Structure 1
């Protein structure tokens, strides 16, 4: 009888460990990159829509979106596994907050885009360094502890803020224009993909380079779609562009929730 009780306790412990070790980040599929780019674009257009069209102002918009992000991250951290609707809502909101962080520095405080790009680059690299020093890995396939998840989301925040500053710097500060900037960033992402699949570039390094670059790509794409013709855009407006992309994200998240095709495997690290 005692042995049976011990076996039951052991099984409960194993099940508990298994739940805790479920990775909190989805598998990197084509759906991951599609939603990431869409969320990135929404971050740019939604921030502009809330700030300009609804006349909420940068400060009020930043406070409201930051509170919503913190609430969503609370549920994300509380979950023991990847939940598509919670995870991707956090990505969309952190994209908006990252954009607002960059905009606050440039618009409210008058910090030049060159400076904000450098600041967010340093913050992002410092987060990577602390993450690796603490965990000895930067792999998103091993986000199964609270500490690693905290490093992950902090890194994501800085990649979005950096992408906003870098995208605006190249498209507006250097007068390259939105569509040319989008093409340039897309080409660089293509080079990274080729380097990974053809020349065996380290998968973790390739992932993070591509992840960082999708932000300025999405920002440039969002501005190109939403900005008026005289500013070099297609004139679709921030509301129309945001609504279209949000509906697409919602449809994909529902699909992923139903199929679970991007459900992560048990972490191995």
Structure 2
């Protein structure tokens, strides 16, 4: 009996509160980042609340979601993805507020957020010795995880806008660039010995600007190269697809590294 109890405890400790990194993980991540763009724009632009007020609203939602996620005792797939969506919506309006309302510009916003992201990863690494997702087993590591994600989601919006607008690639061009970069990372995963942790974070970061330009492509005016779809209908459709993916293809908690 004691041996069985120890085995069960070991199995529970071997699981984390983040999902396994599988193909469905990346599909839902891209859908969630796209939803973050259309949802953020729906509140700040379609509802005409502005970037600052919208950021405040989404910041409260993010704070509630991340507190629930960190406080949870085990992996809850819907709570995890709700928190991801919360980070990407607040990241959208926060980046727009910084780059547009404050006049920093896309290049300036991208540079500042990239610096914050790298600093977050370095502090995490120096504090705990690893930034691997498989090492997330404590509240401290989980807080580092979500802070890093928050910076990456905000960076992605600024980077996506910079690529599409300032660099002049447009939404389709930007989507092709970021898709090609993700394909290159996937190739490196299968055919090189580059650190899997480095490749994970590179892919995780790049899915955000991809989602940003795809989201803009869906709801921006035809005159600017978009499809001019309703931000509300696009957001609802993306949410339905995300929920369907989660229900139809169950995701398991990632196993912890020992």
- Report if TM-score (shorter chain) is over 0.5: yes
1:235 aligns with 2:228: yes
1:190 aligns with 2:183: yes
Aligned to 1:251: 244
Aligned to 1:209: 202
> What RMSD over aligned residues (CA atoms) do the two structures have, in Å?
1.9
User: Any idea what the Cα deviations from partners look like across 1:171-207, whole Å, max 9, x if unmatched?
Assistant: 0112110001100110011111111201232211111
Query: Which of 91, 105, 120 in structure 2 is aligned with 1:127?
Result: 120
* Secondary structure, counterpart of 1:24 in structure 2: strand
Aligned residues: 258
Q: Is the 8 A contact 1:113 1:168 kept in 2?
A: yes
TM alignment of 1:1-269, pairs within 5 A: 19=12, 22-256=15-249, 259=250, 261-265=251-255, 267-269=256-258
* Secondary structure, counterpart of 1:23 in structure 2: strand
Q: 1:128 to 1:215 in 2, by over 3 A?
A: same
* Secondary structure, counterpart of 1:82 in structure 2: coil
User: Any idea what the Cα deviations from partners look like across 1:110-146, whole Å, max 9, x if unmatched?
Assistant: 1111111010010000000011111111111121100
Q: 1:73 to 1:13 in 2, by over 3 A?
A: farther
The TM-score with structure 2 as length reference comes to: 0.94
Q: Is the 8 A contact 1:44 1:99 kept in 2?
A: yes
Q: Is the 8 A contact 2:95 2:154 kept in 1?
A: yes
Aligned to 1:3: none
For 1:148 and 1:86, how far apart are their aligned partners in 2? 18
* Secondary structure, counterpart of 1:239 in structure 2: helix
The TM-score with structure 1 as length reference comes to: 0.90
For 1:153 and 1:60, how far apart are their aligned partners in 2? 22
User: Any idea what the Cα deviations from partners look like across 1:226-246, whole Å, max 9, x if unmatched?
Assistant: 112101011223222211111
**Segments of 4+ moved more than 2 angstroms:** 10-22, 253-256, 261-265
Q: Is the 8 A contact 1:23 1:143 kept in 2?
A: yes
Q: Structure 1 unaligned runs (5+)?
A: 1-6
For 1:239 and 1:99, how far apart are their aligned partners in 2? 16
Q: Structure 2 unaligned runs (5+)?
A: none
